[in-house]
Amino acid sequence: MTQTIYLALTHDWELRGDGSGDIEEIQFAPLRRLLAIYEKAGARTTFLPDVMQQLRFRSLQDEHPELKRAADSWDEHAQEAYARGHDIQLHLHSQWSNVEYENGRWQLRGDWSLLNYDQDMATKMISDSRSYLENALHPVDPQYRCVAFRASALALAPSAHLLSSLAALGIEIDVSVAGGVYLNNDTLQLDYRTCEEGFLPYYPRMDDARRISNQQEPIVCVPLNHFYGSRRLVTKQNLALAKARFSSTEKTTAGPARLDSQSTGLARVYEKLIAPAIKRKHFVSDTGRLNYPLMCEMLASIRQRARESGLAKVPVVLTNHPKDIRDWAGLERFVGEVADAPDLKFITLSELAEKIRSGEFRVRTAETSHR
């Protein structure tokens, strides 16, 4: 059987989680650089802008001309990416729901997890953000529709109402669920260690997207891919990162933006260097945070699981955070090799949703096995 793996390269395009960061440096410049890399490889990908951020910039732009300039440029970059064949779909950081802007700095006071908002508040954030995107892109393409969603910090489940609200707003696929992710700190609590499907698209139970429904549902979860890196490569990447951090002056902002910010020095050494050497390490498939050898392991893991599925066509969603890209040369090499591989194709999230709608991609229910 010939098998084709459809890779959806996606990007969470946003400022840091606490609202900090220079927008030109961490959003606009990396987007332009990515577009150049993708153009060379003929790759069409998907950008998932945090639209809550943009709504806040717009809401204060009359008093703060620098916010208007940035917001206008945000629109232009999104439109340019779309005009060049990429897809733009919805991501949002709920922490922008309650903000202050003083002396050119944002204070974000809203809860980081959509799961902690009631149905009306969550629906309003999603609906306002979706409308903003559609209005921004309709001048480029009147047919544009927002059909795919990724939640703030991947927090989608469990929720009694979130999936139904998304479906009611026209969202056909969610790409938030990454098996194995576990967060439990002051900012976020999330437990995806027991997801019933970590690889193939499935109909989620409407009250808990970690579980597979036994029937067709109005929305499909396409897992955000994850894999386990080998001890050798994980240790190597960590040593390189530690060295880079040591030799550069500390310029990254600490704070809730970094999920591991709680770790103290010693705990960090254990977590980063020793623990991974003991067991294989869990990774979300993020082409911005992996170096080239780990991207190769990620791809080997994807091919292995695709083979095991026995399906002729397998869609796989990867992510990237342009603000954090570590290995630009490695990313470019990876994208070029995917473009040349006969068993791999790039796909946008709109195309992925369309192939699910048409039945070209199989969607699991609890009653069907992989095959």
Q: Which residues contact residue 45 at a Cβ distance below 8 angstroms, ignoring those fewer than 6 apart?
A: 8, 9, 10, 11, 34, 38, 86, 87, 346, 348
Q: How far apart, in whole angstroms, are the C-alpha atoms of residue 220 and residue 197? A: 12
Nearer to Zn ion, 208 or 324 (CB): 324
Among the residue ranges 4-12, 76-84, 162-170, 354-362, the one whose residues contact Zn ion (CB under 5 A): 4-12
Number of H helices, E strands in the chain: 12, 17
Going by C-alpha positions, the residue among 274, 296, 276 that lies closest to residue 285 is 296
Closer CB to Zn ion, 47 or 283, in the complex: 47
Distance CA 215, CA 201 (A): 13
Q: Which is nearer to Zn ion, 14 or 87 (CB)?
A: 14
Q: Interface mask (CB under 5 A) for Zn ion, residues 13-42, using x and -?
A: -x----------------------------
Residue with smaller CB distance to Zn ion, 48 or 233: 48
With beta carbons less than 8 A apart as the criterion, state whether 12 and 307 touch: no
Closest contact distance (angstroms) between CB of 12 and Zn ion is: 4
Nearest approach in angstroms of CB 17 to Zn ion is 7
* Minimum CB–partner distance for residue 150 and Zn ion (Å): 7
Question: Which span (12-20, 178-186, 208-216, 304-312) binds Zn ion, by CB under 5 A?
Answer: 12-20
List b or e across 284-301, with b for residues whose CB sees 16 or more CB atoms inside 10 angstroms: bbbbbbbbbbbbbbbbeb
Minimum CB distance to Zn ion smaller for 51 or for 233: 51
Span from 9-17, 102-110, 201-209, 268-276 in contact with Zn ion (CB under 5 A):
9-17
Q: Would you say 5 or 154 has its CB closer to Zn ion?
A: 154
Residue choice 8, 12, 200, 227 for contact with Zn ion (CB under 5 A): 12
In the complex, minimum distance from the CB of residue 154 to Zn ion, in angstroms, rounded to a whole number: 8
- 146 close to 171: Cβ distance less than 8 angstroms: yes
For the window 346-365, what string marks contact with Zn ion as x by the rule CB under 5 A?
Answer: --------------------
**Minimum gap (Å) between residue 93 Cβ and Zn ion:** 6
Stretch touching Zn ion by CB under 5 A, among 6-14, 96-104, 323-331, 339-347: 6-14
Strands 204-205 and 208-212 turn out to be antiparallel
Looking only at Cα atoms, what is the longest distance across the chain? 61
Query: Considering beta carbons, is residue 4 or 20 the nearer one to Zn ion?
Result: 20
Least distance in angstroms from the C-beta of 71 to Zn ion: 18
Dihedral angle sign, alpha carbons of residues 17, 92, 212, 283? negative
Which DSSP helix (H) or strand (E) runs through 82?
A: helix 65-83
Task: Annotate each residue in 205-244 with x if it binds Zn ion (CB under 5 A) or - if it does not, as one string.
Answer: ----------------------------------------
CB of 77 or CB of 305, closer to Zn ion: 77
- In the bound complex, what is the minimum distance in angstroms from residue 51's beta carbon to Zn ion? 11
- Distances in Å between the Cα of 267 and the Cα atoms of 233, 252, 262 are 21, 19, 9
From the CB of 88, what's the least distance to Zn ion, in Å?
15
Q: Within 10 A of 6 (CB to CB), how many other CB atoms are there?
A: 19
Which H or E element spans position 247? helix 231-247
Q: Smaller CB distance to Zn ion: residue 14 or 172?
A: 14
The CB-nearest residue to Zn ion is 12
CA dist 96 → 75, 130, 214 (Å): 18, 15, 36
Query: Which ranges in 248-345 belong to alpha helices (H)?
Result: 265-269, 275-278, 292-309, 328-340
Cis peptide before 256 (omega within 30 of 0): no
Shortest separation between residue 345's beta carbon and Zn ion, angstroms: 26
Q: Which residues contact 69 (CB under 8 A, 6 or more apart)?
A: none
By CB under 5 A, the count of residues binding Zn ion is: 2
Closer residue to Zn ion in complex, CB, 14/332: 14
CB of 38 to Zn ion, least distance (A): 20
Dist. CA 306–CA 3, nearest whole Å: 8
Region of 7-15, 215-223, 246-254, 281-289 interacting with Zn ion (CB under 5 A): 7-15
* Binding footprint of Zn ion on the chain (CB under 5 A): 12, 14
